[in-house]
Amino acid sequence: MTSSPHPLDPLTTDEVRAAVAIIAGDARHETDAVFVHIRLHEPDKSVVLAHEPGAAVDREIEALIVRPGRNEATEVVVSITSDAIRSWTTHAGMRPALLFGESFAAIVGVKNHPDWQAALRRRGIDDFELVQIDPWPAGSFGVAHEDGRRISRCISYVRGEATDNGYAQPIEGVIAFYDNSGGEVLEVIDLGVVPMPAERGDYLADRVGPLRDDLKPLEIVQPEGPSFAVDGNHVRWSRWSFRVGFDPYEGLVLHTVDYHDPDADRVRPVLHRASISEMVVPYGDPGPMHGWKNAFDAGEWGLGRMGNSLNLGCDCLGVIHYFDAVLATEQGEPYTVERVVCMHEEDYGILWKHHDLHGGTDETRRSRRLVVSFIATVGNYEYGFYWYFYLDGNIQLEVKLTGIVSPMAITPGEQPEFANVIAPGLAAVHHQHLFSARLDLDVDGPTNSVYEIDAEPVPAGPDNPWGNAFRPRATRLDHELVAQRDTDSAASRSWRVVNESSRNALGQPVGYKLVPTMSTPTMLASPESSVGRRAGFARHNLWVTPYAPDERRAAGEFPNQHEGGDGLPRWTSADRSIVETDVVLWYTFGVTHFVRPEDWPVMPVEYTGFLLSPFGFFDRNPALDVAPTTSTESCHADS
Ligand SMILES: [Cu+2]
């Protein structure tokens, strides 16, 4: 329970019911309409920033509605405080994310279709109960089936029993086009029979034995409890405070991240809102079976909708605080995803240290971080999103990629050009996972500018006689088009968000820098390709826009079957000024995945992410005041 209402309080079940009742009472609402999502309609930033504790809050809820057979999506905003419809907007020609109800119908429809059954019988499969059908977003390829319809492409796999690895035995060559809005199979194509891999790709504990027995228990003990305090969705930990939100598409959202600075004796904003706004997984095989695969796992499926209920001791370790999230079924019924966000503290090695060889002192401080995380299962893959807060002012996002790769069956001995062989008769297509983090930084307030910082070597000459000189070169990014930037690891490139009107004790403008912590790709598919147009955000690592409340997701609100061009490419074509204004950074990062044999049958976590690090935000190391560890058991000279 929260002590006083806040505009960013998470949605409640009662609020969902109230919103649905208001919509159902409107003459424009039709009874066969399906709710794609129901979520908090986040109040404008100015409302959040102006909110005073105890003040009344106008709660607005946003619903996206679609009707069977109709190629449009209707966004409705209602005020449940005022019992009123605020807006009712129909987006013609736009398709919402794939619907669970329709996807379930697709599975049933495909299984019962004679052409699909015939294709499976050609492969010796006649027990269709053992077949797993995965509907995929169909993309936008100018296929006639796409015209005026919401469709999916269904591919399938066979299992020996229900708990088998669902992806070990792909039914290669068979794709069913399903009309989600019309509820029928449009076409089954059979590209030819490929032998079924024999191995089952087992990974369950009772099937991979013997299990190693050389690891002793490792337990996290916090005898005095955790160091964080939670009030509703508001978190306070050491100098940090923030609010936890949860969105059907973005999943975990961080709001109003502030640093409580004892030196400055004030609460200093750093990050107004941070989330994963979109992601795309383009596959790099040109063939008809896999070349169309490019799932937008946020916009076409919904990372929040796919959020797991997390388990103590497995997903999270230590003294945990869980946050639940309220979502809504497609019939408009609220439901609670329990324990969808996990928060805990982790020891993180040393924070700083110096052993004074002359004075004899030896000072060491332990680093720890506050972890706020959630995990989405999108079909075969798992994505864990971990935000870390540190004692030295750093904020980090780490994405953990795990789960099962999307495989293809190959003829034994075949060496595919656009896939790696990972098991006998099994290969995995080269692909990328490209994420777009939307970072509304407010460094000491909303009015900020962005600089690109490159390490610049100086040519040898009279002023550089030894040829050793180098310096940082700072270039202010003044307009949206010049702010479409890429990483440059040789130049140690970073981007610094500064507040020119807020100075540190050295007279420098305070700042935070965005640091690419690993080499990070941009999209390899051609910009003119279907996925290149649709995921324009992935052409560059950095985009900067002036804050606009309706610019929420990097590929636009409706990426499903969209022809492309929406989101960041469209907004930034206006080339708005981004100097001394409320800037939003959009950072594309991820991995290019050439799949290893070690990624099969289930993939050990692969990491990607980025770091936000203070640069002159503080006058000195802000973690000088972290106390030495007092427990003799934790830190003592053992001689
Ligand atoms: Cu991958």
Low-confidence ranges of the chain (pLDDT < 70): 1-2, 631-639
Do 91 and 170 form a contact (C-beta atoms < 8 A)?
no
* Catalytic site residue from 157, 381, 451, 512: 381
Q: Is 324 one of the annotated active-site residues of the chain?
A: no
* Catalytic site residue from 134, 247, 285, 297: 297
- For tokens 């002590």, the residue is 3
Cis peptide before 137 (omega within 30 of 0): no
How many angstroms is it from 584 CA to the middle of ligand 1?
A: 28
Alpha-carbon distance 259 to 255, whole Å? 13
Alpha-carbon distance 28 to 74, whole Å? 11
Write down the pLDDT at residue 435. Answer: 98
How many angstroms is it from 603 CA to the middle of ligand 1?
A: 9
Write down the pLDDT at residue 143. Answer: 95
For 507-562, how does the pLDDT look when each residue is reduced to its tens digit (9 = 90+)? 999 999 999 988 789 999 999 999 999 999 999 999 999 999 999 999 999 999 99
Percent helix, strand, coil in the chain, to 5, is: 10, 40, 45
How many angstroms is it from 501 CA to the middle of ligand 1?
A: 44
Q: Is 454 one of the annotated active-site residues of the chain?
A: no
How many angstroms is it from 383 CA to the middle of ligand 1?
A: 10
For 146-194, how does the pLDDT look when each residue is reduced to its tens digit (9 = 90+)? 999 999 999 999 999 999 999 999 999 999 999 999 999 999 999 999 9
DSSP string, 243-287: EEEEETTTEEEEEEEEEEETTTTEEEEEEEEEEEEEEEEEB---S
Cis peptide before 135 (omega within 30 of 0): no
CA distances from 53 to 15, 48, 253 (A): 21, 11, 21
How many angstroms is it from 595 CA to the middle of ligand 1?
A: 7
How many angstroms is it from 236 CA to the middle of ligand 1?
A: 35
To the question of pTM greater than 0.95 for the whole model, the response is yes
How many angstroms is it from 597 CA to the middle of ligand 1?
A: 12
For 409-419, how does the pLDDT look when each residue is reduced to its tens digit (9 = 90+)? 999 899 999 99
Which run of H or E residues covers position 531?
A: helix 530-534
Write down the pLDDT at residue 316. Answer: 87
Write down the pLDDT at residue 638. Answer: 47
Which residues are near ligand 1, the ion (C-beta closer than 5 Å)? 593
